Chain A
Amino acid sequence: MSMKKTYWKGLDEKDQSPEFVQNSNKEFREDLSVDEFIGSEAIGDFQTGRRDFLKFLGFGVAAATLASCETPVIKSIPYVNKPEDVTPGVANWYASTFYDGNDYSNILVKAREGRPIWVKGNKDFGLTKGGITPRIGASVLNLYNSDRLRGPVKSGEPSEWSVVDAEVKGKLKDIAANGGKIRLMSNTVISPTTQKIMYDFLDSLAPVQRVARFDAITGQPMYDPETGEQLFDGIEMNESDVERVEYDATSYSAMRKANEESFGYRSLPTYDFSLARVVVSIDADFMANWLMHTKYNVDFAETRKPEKREDGEQWMSKHFHFESVMSLTGANADSRCPIKPSEQGAVAAAILKYVTGKDLGVAVSDEIDAYAAKAADKLKEHKGQSLVVAGANDKGIQLIVNEINHALNNYGTGKTIDLNKEIYLKNADDAKVEELVNDVVGGKVDALLIVGANPVYSLPNGDAFGEALANENMLSVSFSEFADETASKCTYICPDHNYLESWQDMSPSLGEYAIQQPVIRPLFDTRQMQETLLVWSGKAERADKESKTYYNYIREFSKKWFFPTSKDYSTFDEFWNWTVHNGSSINNTDIWTAEFKNPSLPAASSLKSSDAAWEVVAYQKSGIGEGQYTANPWLQELPDAITKVCWDNYVTMAPADCYDLFNITGNEKGKWDGLYIEQETPVNMVNVTVGEQVLKLPVYPLPGQARGTIGVALGYGRAENQEAIGSAAFQIKLDQTGDYDLDADGNKKPIGGNSYKFTSFVNGSIRYYADADVADANEKYFLACTQTHHTIMGRTSILRETNLESIISGHKDDYNPAHELHVHTKGHGEHVNATDVSLWDEHPVEFVGHRWGMSVDLTACNGCGVCIVACHSENNVPVVGKDEIRRARDLHWLRMDRYFSSIDDDARARWEKDKRAEGNDWSYANLEVPEDNPSVVFMPMMCHHCNHAPCETVCPVAATTHSNEGLNMMAYNRCIGTRYCGNNCPYKVRRFNWFNYRDYRKFKHVNNSQDEMARMVLNPDVTVRSRGVMEKCSFCVQRIQEGKLNAKAESRAVADGDVVTACADSCPNGAIVFGDWNDEESLVRSKTSGDRAYQALEEIGVKPNLWYQVKVRNVEEAAELAHVDTADEPHNEEH
């Protein structure tokens, strides 16, 4: 039988019928009508002539050409394996901790697709309760600084970790074996594991093993309570000279020393400002810079609430401030006394005299004496609920302050100063630093390892230190992220991770355990300092970027030391996971009690103030701080809270001193004119001389500056030797090229001058002020200010302030009257509420759906500027650089208006009341001149999202329109850039894209979106605007959408708090509240219906969705301004 099988499709095929055979040869079963078609007569009628042919050809070619044009395709590569925790488009939040040796804060980091893009304070967990500074908010940009070192460096050349490890290890061993001097210099380390690793590392170099003794509870190294010496277990080493020295650029060494004398223990206590009814600060900028200011700021804000509290009481703390340069804290004080820096001791002594009667015999001026007496009175009224702090790094002053606080019964658990709960920040001992510096400069040190500090920049004699570092006989190793002033002089740089790439544990204070966790994989071939030390001490092997060495180390350490003290968790994993999740945990601690030892107070002679004509104060700015972030364009672009100057360092000087120094004469109005700073009005420069150090800087006339003093901010004048610390650290030419401003040698000029040169070691601690000579340099210089006018011109419909007394016992109409307009009705005149008069129909947002609204409490706002940075980074606001700021083209969506009280405010109030009726004296001139020691108001100003928005009606193309949720929206794509909306905005909050900031050469060194690395910080939820379009605050519409979508996904209504704008989210003091105004339960609704709520410029009828709340000060004098009747009534008309 044949194996061949036949298959068929049907019976036809099987049978091979003739019909089938015939059809199978045809392609089509049925006849096509081709013949019919071709045979048709009509076809002969069609003809393609030569012209038609050419037409078809032409069309064909054109069509084909057009079809081949297409927009370039940008390919995005999807994940091959999607990471478990990353969903494109959805942000991840990580709790972490910020610590850089100066600021400490518990933070939350927002990451998009694995890139950290935004930082805010953690309001739920940790010591600092959401307190951050602009520096911390902007720190995320430091991660993407393209000048960060990308791997280890040896003698200025890129190297390999294996090479560096082998060489450094070998050299250290040799030095140790020869009994050489090895020093590990770091800023204050609050990481317990890091301390352990450092000690272990040093011990590994010593021939004899020694083990530092750690406190079983805190994991902190222990000290002998008697001698203050550090305790070691095991055998004391004796042969090798291996030491660790902590160095803080801004030091609190004298305070620790004073506490040691007062209480027997070299510690810094916990201050609880939230318990203080009276705070007296002698030059302690506790809101922005002093010690753990992130916490103090939030705590203090608790005491500044004028409304009735939950316990039925109604009070506000009273804040006295003595200082030379107006600081953020001083600007917020109820009573501020300008003093010379050398008078701080005298002020402390005067307060002591009035509080305790103990007279140290120090003479003070009558004015200061009066302030001190007032402060002392208040302090005595609130014994046990008061607080005196001093910023001076001077043991004598701190001893007096301790004595005052002791006399006021402020020490103790549950009191304003808790000695028993010490904080571990700022642990440097200046005497040891001085000794080390002398040793280094004297060439006595054989190996120096520098962690976290930049002594070449920040030491008074940094230059000499730098020369010594550059000496090849000494082994110098830096762990800096940048080849900065210090690192570039070191033989080896072993770059540390950025904090956003690192694991670390921290113990900022007794009982507080915080974790820093990485948010991104290390961008470069860097290695965490701790791991480097572990490798060098032989405790770990070198690993790659993914190394978990240190992470495991922390876990083990935590398991051993911290987990046992935690009573909240049963297993270590639970403890660890929750600690990482929350960013911190609290462990239970036993308490030791301090005893006041009644130390002898300094002699009057040591408190005597200086007789010098000029004294210079080196102070910290809230944006630049100690100088770590000089190259951060966001911080450079952040206007200084007080002066509103961007991108520059300057000398602050009392206006009256400026007149004398620069021979400015004239009448009252002309007086301020002479000090006017503006685009084409440069300022004078002066030469400031301290000893042999000279800085030439521009002068900023600052009201409130103490006469005879000048202030120069720290943190500028970096990278004088062209070190690579970031492109934004240098001066840019004031033209369209955007090139660096070069000096005669072709070097880039750093911004400002280094005022650390004015500091000095005095009696074993660093002093931040000095006697100086100030001389007119006969040069002019352009400063860039975002605000060139300084007073509110008595405009009470924009800004309202009052005092606590009025709030408690007055009526709303006294301090916050409704704005009335005078209208004619049926032949007679009457006053009606400004809100009742409108040509327009009500916008239908009220009580329908959402109506997004914002409340800004001018009392809670202290002007710190965190919101500006938060807004900048959330909304990809372009950085525009100094020249554009000078031309008043800052792009800030949210600005912080700062107003000084004017010399004529009283007159103005009188005039409002009386003279207006008589119809005379329209004098405004004196309103423009700030007072010598003005009171200050900060007013955040952003888009008011008016329901009757003047910007919307004038746009010819309807690019800015109103949403049915009350938002004033901006369609960038539709905008043609007529700028009419900007002109017609009464609040002047609209910002125009004058250039293409992403590409135009003018911004190449300042705008982060022109840098491939720094571009990674951009928020993908917000578009980067093109040239020629308007932009402005959107109430963070992307966050509103996110909140609504989340609620929708969960099938629920949007709850209060689901949607928070970046500014409200970041504000440490809750000054900004955002929410749905139509939600009657919402916080914003209750805030805006309170007695203090008002709307700026209510009378022009734009009906904003933003309310302010009257600024309240705890001052006695009734603020006359608030009592002004704001009705627009020129005459006493009788109708």
Chain B
Amino acid sequence: MHKESDIRIPLILGDKNYKDITDDVIRPIESKAPKGWYILISIFGIFALWGVGCIVYLLGTGVGVWGLNKTVEWAWDITNFVWWVGIGHAGTLISAVLLLFRQKWRMAINRASEAMTIFAVMMAGLFPLIHMGRLWVGYWVFPLPNQFGSMWVNVNSPLFWDVFAISTYFSVGMVFWYIGLIPDFATIRDRVTKPLAKRAYGILSFGWTGNAKAWNRFEIVSLVLAGLATPLVFSVHSIVSFDFATSVIPGWHTTIFPPYFVSGAVFSGFAMVQTLMLVLRKAFKLEAYLHTKHIEYMNIIILTTGSIVGVAYITELFISWYSGVEYEAYAFLNRATGPYWWSYAAMMTCNVVSPQLMWSKKLRTNLTFTFILAAVVNVGMWFERFVIIVTSIHRDYVPSAWSYFHPTWVDIGIYVGTLGIFFVLYLLFARYFPVLPIAELKTILKSSGENYKKGFGHGEGYYDSHIEKH
């Protein structure tokens, strides 16, 4: 008697063929946008405009319109920066690291999460720009040849490293994303009938012909870029963490920061992917491509990185006591019990306690719960950055300079504004770009042999041994 055991749930459910995939992904582009899309983009558009207004006011008047003071000279600005950069981490991790590790399930989420990365990094990049006192001379952070004599950048400064870390990450991420889009744009180009759309997608698809040579080059470039992008996943947030780790401020000056920041970033990035994908899945009826298994995989990553972050928090606390350095000890005690205890409590609850619930299979496969938890994690990660930045400097060495930070409406407005811009961009992406990689998905579609087998009555048991074995 011949028995085949179920190995894994296939990555694409339902009786899909190649055409189905193309149809399913391109349908939102070809059809009219639903009413909800217009409502959402209007709401976020208003947020975005409000944010832009706040930025204009900020640039016109001075950084003083924020709530910063002589002691806390970074607060929401850099908190938001690090938060957005962190969110921007998942995309590249998914598309590059998981590609190298042959994790095929990534195909359900990589396109959308790469888009998320691009937009999040854009939002992140905004903050270092507008937080400058004099944006109009901000280009001085680049090592530009100039006629001012010996004026040069300070290569010792982590902010200078940031400039390159972020811009490299952004450009590599952008290229990677775009190259992946080319075959899909070509597919759309070939299908759309409206002349304007045809022209637009024609330009976007870079004259893709789909011949074997093109595919071959496409594969090679993807791999090369994946190789390039992989170290960036780790470098970007490590370098961002150097902004703090290389300082002398207790609470910032911590060698644990690079790994801790990277895992925190992956943690928050996946949470944001969850948030976005769950909505996308529902709205675009992509349940077949992005099913519970995918969600579960991501939840496991969240659980893992969340636990790493939790260990890091506790290590920090332990070291602050173990080092016996008075200022270090006070900095951490003050985090937990000082005036900002509430932000520390929020951070601990959201980032350490709540992901542990994912140990339960029931919970980590529950979509509603996942959605809520993803939001909780993102809130928690915002508080983590706030805790690190603000509670460390608000009470550092000299007690006479201690202060407390109060955000102004401009602080809040710009943060809400970046959320608005981000979602507007994301909605545009969802409306006009293929949210799933059409070409790539076709590589994991079960072959005709499977269909043949299905005919022999293996019932519900789908397996994709053919693909997985290679």
Contact = CB atoms under 8 A, between A and B. Distances in A.
A66 B82 CA distance: 42
Contact of A974 (B65, B140, B402): B140
B141 interface: yes
Interface in B124-173: 128, 131-135, 137-138, 140-141, 151-154, 156-160, 163
B323 A979 contact: no
Interface string A873-915: 0000000000010011110000101110000000000000000
Interface in A786-823: 787-789, 791-793, 795, 797-798, 822
A1029 B133 contact: yes
Interface in A758-793: 787-789, 791-793
Interface string B62-80: 1111011111011000000
B224 interface: no
A890 B153 CA distance: 30
Contacts of A789: 395, 399-400, 402
Interface stretch (A36-44, A193-201, A989-997): A989-997
B324 A1129 contact: yes
Interface in B207-263: 243, 246-249
B157 A987 contact: no
Given A956-B157, A980-B159, A988-B398, A975 B141 contact: no
Given A953-B157, A1128-B324, A986 B64 contact: no
A953 B247 CA distance: 9
A504 B81 CA distance: 63
Contact of A982 (B70, B131, B151, B330): B70
A1097 interface: yes
B402 A1027 contact: no
A373 interface: no
A958 B67 CA distance: 26
B333 interface: yes
B137 A976 contact: yes
A991 B334 CA distance: 25
B112 interface: no
Nearest to B333: A922
A822 B322 CA distance: 12
Contacts of B329: 922
A1028 B248 contact: no
A609 interface: no
Contacts of A953: 154, 156-157, 246
Contact of A980 (B157, B337, B400): B157
Nearest to A1096: B398
A678 interface: yes
Contact of B73 (A792, A795, A992, A995): A992
Contacts of B152: 958
A793 B397 CA distance: 10
Interface residues of A, number: 71
Contacts of B132: 976-978, 1028
A114 interface: no
B398 A679 contact: no
A897 B64 contact: no
Interface string B49-73: 0000000000001111101111101
A988 B140 contact: no
A888 B158 contact: no
Nearest to A987: B398
Nearest to A1131: B324
A736 B65 contact: yes
B304 interface: no
Given A787-B400, A976-B140, A955 B154 contact: yes
Contacts of B159: 954-956, 978, 980
Contacts of B398: 798, 897, 941, 986-988, 1096
Given A953-B156, A983-B73, A1128-B324, A1102 B403 contact: no
Nearest to A791: B399
B160 A986 contact: no
Contacts of B74: 979-980, 983
Contacts of B62: 993-996, 1000, 1027-1028
B154 A678 contact: no
Contact of A979 (B73, B140, B157): B73
A1130 B318 CA distance: 12
Interface in A571-628: none
Given A887-B67, A1100-B248, A898 B400 contact: yes
A53 interface: no
Nearest to B337: A925
Contacts of B151: 958, 974
Nearest to A953: B156
Name which of A955, A976, A992 has the most chain B CB atoms within 10 A of its CB: A976
Given A795-B399, A890-B70, A994 B249 contact: no
A941 B399 CA distance: 12
A889 B131 CA distance: 17
Nearest to B401: A988
A1000 B158 CA distance: 33
B141 A957 contact: yes
Contacts of B400: 787, 789, 895, 897-899, 939, 941
B189 to A, nearest CB: 36
Given A976-B140, A976-B141, A1028-B133, A793 B154 contact: no
Contacts of B65: 736
B372 interface: no
Nearest to A988: B401
A789 B399 CA distance: 6
Interface in A836-891: 884, 887-890
A889 B69 contact: yes
Interface in B3-60: none
A882 to B, nearest CB: 14
A986 B397 contact: yes
Interface in B358-412: 393, 395-404, 406
B313 interface: no
Contacts of A678: 403-404
A1128 B69 contact: no
B134 A976 contact: yes
A994 B138 CA distance: 17
A956 B330 contact: no
B326 interface: yes
Nearest to B138: A976
B141 A1128 contact: no
Interface string A935-960: 00001010000000010011111100
Contacts of B402: 788-789
Contacts of A680: 404, 406
Contacts of A887: 67, 69, 406
A1027 B62 CA distance: 7
Name which of A678, A791, A1102 has the most chain B CB atoms within 10 A of its CB: A678
B467 interface: no
Nearest to B394: A888
Nearest to B323: A1130
A1028 B62 CA distance: 7
A74 B322 CA distance: 63
30 contacts: A787-B400, A791-B399, A795-B397, A798-B398, A822-B324, A889-B70, A890-B70, A922-B329, A922-B333, A925-B337, A941-B400, A954-B156, A954-B157, A954-B246, A955-B154, A958-B153, A977-B133, A978-B128, A979-B74, A980-B159, A983-B74, A988-B397, A988-B401, A995-B62, A995-B64, A1028-B63, A1029-B134, A1128-B326, A1130-B323, A1130-B324
Interface of B: 61-65, 67-71, 73-74, 128, 131-135, 137-138, 140-141, 151-154, 156-160, 163, 243, 246-249, 321-327, 329-330, 333-334, 337, 393, 395-404, 406
Given A987-B397, A988-B396, 12 more contacts: A736-B65, A888-B69, A899-B399, A953-B246, A954-B246, A956-B159, A974-B140, A974-B151, A975-B134, A986-B248, A986-B398, A992-B73
* In the A-B complex, the 6 residue pairs with the closest CB atoms: A977-B133, A1028-B133, A1130-B324, A994-B64, A988-B401, A888-B69
